[in-house]
Amino acid sequence: MLRERKDQIINELADSLSRCSIAIATDYRGLSAKEMVQLRRRLTELGVEYRVVKNTLTRFAVEKAGRKQLEALLAGPLAIAFGYDDVIRPAQALSEHIRSFGSVLQIKGGVMGDRLLTPEDISTIAATPPRDVLISQLVGQLEAPLRALHNVLSAPLQGFLNVIQARVQQVEGG
C-alpha cells in the first residue's frame, strides 16, 4: 500500500473517531460475504458507519484522534461501527443482527466519550429503549405528581358537588 493511501486511511479513521459519539469494535471472523453486506446495509440505513480496519493503521488513527482507550481492543481481525448521533442505535443494530441471524459476529468492546466499554456495557446500552420511548417515560413520570395533586385538590369540590346534586334531586323528588 502506498504511503499516501495509508495516510489518507489514517486521517479518515481519525476523523471518524473524533466525530463519533460511540465506536464499537467487533470481530467479524466467520461472517459470510452475504451476511457482511446485509449487516453493512442495515447499519448504513441507521446512519452508522461500519469499517473493516487494519490494526496498525488504527493505532495511528487512535493516537491522532486522542481515543487511546480503543488501543486495548486492537487485536485480531477488527471492524468498527461508528455511531455519530445516537449511541443506542449502533449497539441495538449489532445486537439485533447477532440475535436474529445467529451470527458469529462478536462485540469486543467500544469507546463512548473517554470511557472504554466492555461487551456487557454495550449489551446494556442495546437494551436501553429508544430515545422517543425514554422521553415519553420521562413526561409520564413528570405528569404523575401533577395528576395526583389535581385529584387531591379537586376531591373536596367533587364531594361538595355530589352533595348539592343529591339535595337538588331530593327537593325535586320530594
Residue linked to cell 493511501 = 5
Pair (90, 22) in one structural domain: yes
CATH number assigned to the domain comprising residue 64: 3.30.70.1730
Pair (10, 45) in one structural domain: yes
Residue 68, pLDDT score: 85
Pair (104, 168) in one structural domain: no
Q: Which domain holds residue 174?
A: 129-174
Pair (21, 58) in one structural domain: yes
Per-residue pLDDT reduced to its tens digit, 26-72 = 998 888 889 899 999 999 998 899 999 898 999 999 988 888 888 88
Per-residue pLDDT reduced to its tens digit, 2-18 = 888 989 999 999 999 88
Pair (72, 150) in one structural domain: no
Average pLDDT over every residue of 102-131: 89
pLDDT band at residue 1 under the 50/70/90 scheme: low
Whether 24 shows a pLDDT value over 90: the answer reads: yes
Distance CA 82, CA 48 (A): 6
Residue 76, pLDDT score: 86
Stated pTM of the model = 0.74
**DSSP letters along 51-119, please?**
EEE-HHHHHHHHHHHT-GGGGGG--SSEEEEEESS-SHHHHHHHHHHHHHHT---EEEEEEETTEEEPH
Pair (136, 102) in one structural domain: no
Pair (54, 134) in one structural domain: no
pLDDT band at residue 87 under the 50/70/90 scheme: confident
Pair (64, 104) in one structural domain: yes
Pair (133, 103) in one structural domain: no
Pair (121, 162) in one structural domain: no
Whether 130 shows a pLDDT value over 80: the answer reads: no
Pair (124, 142) in one structural domain: no
Hey, is 41 helix, strand or coil? helix
The percent of residues above 90 in pLDDT, for the chain, comes to 40
Average pLDDT over every residue of 115-121: 91
Domain total for the chain?
A: 2
pLDDT band at residue 174 under the 50/70/90 scheme: low
Pair (15, 87) in one structural domain: yes
